Amino acid sequence: MRALLAVLLALSLPAMAQEDKVALKNGPGKDKVGQCLACHSLDYIPMNSRFLDKAGWTAEVNKMINVYKAPIAKEDVDTIASYLAENYGKKP
């Protein structure tokens, strides 16, 4: 069993080493988006950006608060959604 775990770990290390960290674009609200790191990586932003406009990002942030109990203040929802829509939102 240990040998199998060692092989699996060895195979996964090259993939993990090649992953790039997401660096947020500068803009108003960037500091508030850092709150998202309390629960998950920022990889979700570019992964979902092609699908979400301002309304979509607002719904997503509210879902994180209401469903997953994300520690984000309600007054930060618009700032975060605006930042995400402006910098990562679906373009018309």
Task: State pTM to two decimals.
Answer: 0.76
Q: Which domains does the chain have, with CATH numbers?
A: 20-88 (1.10.760.10)
Q: What is the pLDDT of residue 22?
A: 80
R_g (Cα) of the chain, nearest Å: 17
**The dihedral sign for the CA sequence 35, 36, 41, 43:** negative
pLDDT of the chain, 92 residues: tens digit per residue: 556 545 555 555 554 444 567 889 999 999 999 999 999 999 989 888 889 999 999 999 999 999 999 999 999 999 999 999 999 998 77
Cα(84)–Cα(92) distance, rounded to whole angstroms?
Answer: 15
